[in-house]
Amino acid sequence: MQVPITEYDVVFISYDEPNADENFADLLNKCPWAKRSHGVFGSDAAHKAAANLSETERFVGIDADNIVDPDLFNITIDTEKIKDDWVISWSGKNDVNGLVYGNGGIKCWPKKVVENMRTHEASNPEGPERSHVEFCWDVHYVQMNNIYSHVHNNSSPYQAYRAGFREGVKMSLSEGKKVLERPLKDHLHYKNYNRLLVWLSVGADAENGLWALYGARLGCYKTNLEHDWDWANVRDFVWHTKFWENEIAPQFKGEDITCPRTGYSYDKTKLITEIQKLGRALRNDLGLNVAEMDALNSKFFKEVYINPIRTAPLIRETQIEYEVFK
């Protein structure tokens, strides 16, 4: 049975994103029935709040940093192929580095799955580590090929830094667990390793892209080279805000560039210096092939890079094998 996606509630999930209001206004122009859940702390709790707003058995969850393609609302879901407890995930295209994967993309959630899951801040501290920072290990994801949103998680220095930091941590993990063996590359899934390198290298041309690079490199560094740092902090947005306000923002305070959204002014030269310093550490101490790419090189990369395709229109993340483009 083909069910139009417009039969399901659409819930916009926002927390503190500086571009949330304008992105929600854009969504309402395309989907006037969209609802909004705002300001709920914790990824697990925020999704439960979204589920609570839904009056349908499934709901479409849209993160606040997404600009949605209106074609999303023309698709149908084959309920004979999609089981009741499967989460459908469409990839989003990241504005900073051009990566296309599930991070930040649109999801179609079964309401009961969200109500019963225990992930992120709600995960059992004594349970498997992999559920501490991701949804994908505790729910059945089905990754679709089509792209229905662009992810703009770089509208302020802090937003870009946090987005990079989170992926620098998560892409350094193996099945949601910290890797102790070296070299790190040999113990990561090759897809995650490739994505990690892109986060660590590409984006100097984008708005606040340097902050995403710095965040990704710092997150990777702290996860793998600061052995007393708790990588599970990556799930905690309160920790992120305090760390930014107390450690990061003061370190780079200057007059070179001022963010028009937040008024924060910073020293661009010092930021680049620290990005390069972290790059040397990641190359020397972890053997990661981190590239120092300026704005022109980043633009070139995004122009020619082809994100790997799925081998089928409907397939689980754990079953994916990539084909070589011909």
Instruction: Retrieve residue 249's tokens.
Output: 């923002």
Q: For the chain, which residues make up each domain, given as ranges? A: 2-152+307-319, 157-293
Q: Where are the strands (E) in the chain, listed by range?
A: 2-4, 9-14, 35-38, 58-63, 66-68, 76-78, 86-94, 100-101, 107-110, 140-151, 253-258, 265-266, 314-316
Print the SS3 string covering 224-282. HHCCCCCHHHHHCHHHHHHHHHHHHHHHCEEEEEECCCCCCEECHHHHHHHHHHHHHHH
> What does CATH list as the number for 2-152+307-319?
3.90.550
Q: What is the pLDDT along the chain (326 residues), one digit of tens a residue?
A: 899 999 999 999 999 999 999 999 999 999 999 999 999 998 899 999 999 999 999 999 999 999 999 999 999 999 888 989 999 999 999 999 999 988 889 999 999 999 999 886 767 666 555 544 555 556 788 888 889 999 999 999 999 999 999 999 999 999 888 999 999 999 999 999 999 999 999 999 999 999 999 999 999 999 999 999 999 899 899 999 999 999 999 999 999 999 999 999 999 999 999 999 999 999 999 999 999 999 999 999 999 998 876 554 444 444 443 332 22
pLDDT score at 320: 40
pLDDT score at 23: 98
Beta-bridge partners for 107: 61, 89
pLDDT score at 217: 98
CA atoms within 13 A on the CB side of 201: 21
Question: Hey, how many other C-beta atoms are within 10 angstroms of the C-beta on 49?
Answer: 18
Instruction: Retrieve residue 228's tokens.
Output: 């007393």
Cα–Cα dist 164/172, whole Å = 12
**In which region does residue 98 sit, left (phi positive, over 0), alpha (psi from -120 to 50) or beta (all else)?**
left
Cα–Cα dist 122/49, whole Å = 14
pLDDT score at 133: 56
Inter-residue contact 246 to 50 (CB < 8 Å) = no
